[in-house]
Structure 1
Amino acid sequence: MSERVYIRPVGFVSAPQSEHGNAIRLAGGMVYASRFAVILRRDGQVIERWLASPDTIAEVLGQLPDSVGAEAEAQWASLTLAHPPLELGARTVRLDQPQAMGILNVTPDSFSDGGRFHGDPAAARDHAAEMVEAGAAIIDIGGESTRPKAQPVWEGDEIARVVPAIEAAVSMGAAVSVDTRKAAVMEAALDAGAHMVNDVSGLAHDPRSLEVVAARDCPVVLMHAPGAGGEDLHAGAEYNNVVFDVFDALRASRDRALAADIARHRILLDPGLGFGKSLAENAALINALPLFHALGHPLLLGASRKRMIGAFSNEAPADRRLGGSIALALAGMDAGVQLLRVHDVAETVQARNVWRGLRDAALTDFADLPG
């Protein structure tokens, strides 16, 4: 018999004053949570669900079985954990507000902009510069498409694609992440000046990748994909409950990284929207994003131009999904997500700035109330 516990924020307020201070600042960001569902699963089935607030959470956690008590306490502490900034070369990326990670695909076949920057270093450099100027905190450079049924790329070709783009972005002072699942590409990218690794396989595809990231002591994004250990990232998707199953898989991926001596504060997590997940499963993950803060790591959301936007909007093609991409980015902001991986940096940063302005204003909305 196996038991697992999950603490999911379910009630949110614009400012703690509206609850007379009975709210927490979620993951040290600009989102405040006041109600929480404490969910107990046994052998994959939910057997109990309690509702709690910050002033009653201790009582609720005290009712849990001893087998999950320590985990529940750790999750509660994680929900209130303020994450330190990412130190990426000369740039410091603060995680107390949402930040944009701009996508630069130097591939011939990516689902959205495949071919636009492949084989054209000047165009890639100019696009990186545009994204930095528009407010991208990080440029994420990838040389292999991870769309469904994409063909694997030999690591030598992938290195030849990403290294010139990384060198160009670093030369302009950008913070750079490399989007790869191959250890040799990670090494070449970091040698070229990249500061961070974004692995869609959660360091499961290449047996050497854990060793490389640990030795380089760089930040790493661990993403969930059901086929992480094979060539097809989308294969083998079977979920009892997609939200809890992805949560458990990310926890296991994180624990593998910790066991390989990757520092806890270097780890970021990504639920892998669109990777081996149906429209309903993607929607469930978006709605449950606040739960993933209970794992105790900054979160990355990659929803930009994804297939689910087309499914919700009369099959709009990838280059006509800006509105949907902004809607999902705002959902991520409302959930306290720290990094938003996006194609449309200027528009996302503008949406973020307005969102932040409203959040800042909410902190003074109750200044004239007694007490």
Structure 2
Amino acid sequence: MNRILLIKDIDDAVYELQKIGVSSQGINVMAPKTLGLSIKLTDVKIGAANILKQEMLSIGGDAAVARGVVEGSIPRSDVILLGEVDKIKKLIKKLDHQTIFGLPVIKKDLELFLDQLLRKEDKSIDCRGKKILLDSTKIVGILNITPDSFSDGNEFLNPEKAVKHALQMIDEGADLIDIGGESTRPGAKKIIIEEEKKRVVPIIEEIRKKMDVPISIDTYKSEVADAAIRAGASVINDISALRFDPQMINILQKYDDVPIILMHMQGNPETMQENPFYKDTIEEILDFFKERINFCLSNGISRNRIIIDPGIGFGKRHEDNLIVLKKISEFHCFDVPVLLGASRKSFINRIYSSSPEDRLAGSLAASSLAFANKVDFVRVHDVKEQKRFLDVLKAIRNIK
């Protein structure tokens, strides 16, 4: 039957070409031609924008630029390159000898994007010797040891109950357990460091005695992070992205095998939902991560230890949350793992009226977007249901 063929990535392309008997040499030439790309470059000098436009046209592609670029009436423009992978490969080659207008940096970014797109081997992240293979969307199980978290506050303050729930989530398929001792819901009040340590450290110690699944400590306080790591935690999940406690970077330097999750947030938990505003939601969050990743790199924290979380519900309007979900694939531009935390969040209640416990359908919808866009981690409450849901999606994706 004649039809439009669905090809979502390079593996699909290779499979379909092999199926009709294309030679290996032909596959190498034609597979990249099946993948149409739109690559956005921001704040490009006018000289570079004109060169990119002309070079793309010369190889059968195109480049969208702002009015005024061709006439030279504006100094800079964003540029959207339009063409298949093979066209971008040709453009990269054409830029080999360009040394002006910031084109070497653009060439380097284009090479990174193609490497991500065409990479065949799966990446992994090392959590103090325990590797998590990032071959599909992994599950982070949430354990809040708090009296006031928005969904499960006061439910796991009892240590025995908390440990039991953590072990249950591991049994149900969690790849990592995220433990927090201070609520960061909108309007939440801070607690003292000793109280936070008292809540989380004994739980981490007990889980570590029984299981070797990686544990992340959800805190922005360096003292809590240090105590949690000594108790057995192997990842730091910092909602402030290392901004609230200047000593947190020292903890990461001290424990050089501990990954860091950098989350985006406007303001702080007490004030973040007081009239948050963005002119360009995605661009501003990406700029934030660029600065935070560079901060890590400049302080000796290697890129392979960094995970980013766009922070659904943290200093964002309803429409901002939906835009982040819609454009989640664009966060792959840094070539670091991406985590999505949308489970039971209040944006779901804006779509259909529901209590936190009644938001499984909305949470699964967010996870389906995460899976489709190759997000590396989803942070969830309902581990069993999420695991089964993602397993079905994975089975469908992997069938040939």
Q: Decide: shared fold, TM above 0.5.
A: yes
Q: In structure 2, what is the Cα distance between the partners aligned to 1:249 and 1:167?
A: 34
Q: Which runs of 5+ in 2 are unaligned?
A: 1-6, 18-26, 45-65, 67-76
Matched ranges for 1:56-75 at <5 A: 56-59=87-90, 66-67=102-103, 68-69=105-106, 70-75=108-113
> Counterpart in 2 of 1:146?
184
Matched ranges for 1:271-286 at <5 A: 271-286=310-325
Matched ranges for 1:331-350 at <5 A: 331-350=369-388
Shift of 1:297: 0.2
> Counterpart in 2 of 1:12?
8
| Contact 2:276/2:317 (<8 A) preserved | no
> Counterpart in 1 of 2:35?
34
Letter in 2 for 1:16: A
Shift of 1:57: 1.4
Shift of 1:106: 0.2
Shift of 1:79: 4.6
Pairing partner for 1:221 from 250, 258, 261: 261
Give the % identical residues.
Answer: 33
Q: In structure 1, what is the Cα distance between the partners aligned to 2:128 and 2:252?
A: 16
1:297-337: CA deviation from partner (whole Å, max 9, x where unpaired) = 01111010011111111x21111000110110111011101
Q: In structure 2, what is the Cα distance between the partners aligned to 1:235 and 1:203?
A: 22
Between stretches 64-73 and 235-244, larger displacement belongs to 64-73
Matched, 1:256 2:295: yes
User: Which is greater in Rg?
Assistant: 2
Q: TM-score, normalised by structure 2?
A: 0.79
| Contact 1:322/1:344 (<8 A) preserved | yes
| Contact 2:277/2:317 (<8 A) preserved | no
Shift of 1:231: 6.2
Q: In structure 2, what is the Cα distance between the partners aligned to 1:231 and 1:203?
A: 17
3-state SS of 2:182 partner: coil
Q: In structure 2, what is the Cα distance between the partners aligned to 1:71 and 1:149?
A: 39
Q: In structure 2, what is the Cα distance between the partners aligned to 1:114 and 1:205?
A: 24
Matched, 1:312 2:308: no
Letter in 1 for 2:12: A
Matched ranges for 1:1-371 at <5 A: 12-13=8-9, 15-17=12-14, 20=17, 34-42=35-43, 47-59=78-90, 66-67=102-103, 68-69=105-106, 70-80=108-118, 84-88=123-127, 91-118=130-157, 120-173=158-211, 174-217=213-256, 218-227=258-267, 232-234=271-273, 237-313=276-352, 315-361=353-399, 364=400
Q: In structure 2, what is the Cα distance between the partners aligned to 1:195 and 1:259?
A: 22
Q: Which runs of 5+ in 1 are unaligned?
A: 1-10, 25-32, 365-371
3-state SS of 2:189 partner: coil
Letter in 2 for 1:226: Q
Q: In structure 2, what is the Cα distance between the partners aligned to 1:267 and 1:285?
A: 19
Q: Report the count of equivalent residues.
A: 341
1:197/1:234 CA distance change after superposition, 3 Å: farther
3-state SS of 1:212 partner: helix
Higher share of residues assigned helix: 2
Higher relative contact order (CA 8 A, sep 6+): 1
State the Cα RMSD in Å: 2.6
| Contact 1:76/1:294 (<8 A) preserved | no
Q: TM-score, normalised by structure 1?
A: 0.85
